Amino acid sequence: MAVSKGAEEARNHLPELLDAAEKGRPTVITKRGRPVAVLAPIMAYSAANRQHPLTPLAGSGRGLWGPDSAQTLRDLRDEWSR
């Protein structure tokens, strides 16, 4: 569960908040009572921004466009021009 701190308090206690983040505890930083930022462990950030390979998806759309995908695309384009 994230702890909430005002901007001034977060500024004054930054070393403690960094220690808490190192231990896996995020902190929500507020400004005038509104949440504006999160100080979170880097693991959470890197996991959310990790790129995933596309190779497991190869072939997953096979059959989606029918036996002739070029014709299906032409039909769809024609549908918009009517």
Residue type present at position 59: G
Residue 64 within a domain:
no
Sign of the dihedral through C-alpha 11, 13, 15, 21: negative
Domain count, the chain: 1
pLDDT at 81 > cutoff 80: no
Residue 68 within a domain:
no
Average the pLDDT over 10-35 and give the result: 93
Q: What angle do CA 50, 56, 60 make, to 5 degrees?
A: 125
Q: What is the pLDDT of residues 22-31, one digit of tens each?
A: 998 999 999 9
Q: Which domain holds residue 42?
A: 1-50
Strands 27-31 and 34-39: antiparallel
The model's pTM is: 0.53
- CATH assignment at residue 35: 3.40.1620.10
Which of the pair, 44 or 65, is modelled with greater confidence? 65
